[in-house]
Amino acid sequence: RVGVAVVDTFVWQGLASVAIPGFTINRLCAASLALLGTLTRWPLPVRRWATTALGLSAIPLIITPIDRTVDFLMDSSLRKLYGTPGEP
């Protein structure tokens, strides 16, 4: 049971805390930098700081949806392989 819990926690943390938020924020920042480059005449350092601020401000907004999505994905896939305590 301990091994299963360790693997489950490792996979969940890897997805919900590292991989998916990192990818999401990276793509959000890349898109915002490109958009600011086409819509404004701000100098590059200002656009980069604005992009950084947008990426950091997005963190509180993406936490809950990502956590719920990872729970759903793991319940639908990996957790079916080993079951959860209390399941028949």
Q: Which residues of 21-39 are buried (b: 16+ CB within 10 A; e: fewer)?
A: beebbeeebeebbeebeee
Domain boundaries, the chain: 1-80
Question: SS3 of 85, please?
Answer: coil
Q: Which range among 2-11, 30-39, 75-84 shows the weakest confidence by mean pLDDT?
A: 75-84
Question: How far separated are the first and last CA of the chain, in Å rounded?
Answer: 16
Geometric angle at alpha carbon 68, from 60 and 83, rounded to 5°: 145
- Sorting pLDDT into bands at 50, 70 and 90, what band is 88? very low
Phi, psi of 15 (to 5 degrees): -80, -55
Q: Residue type at 66?
A: I
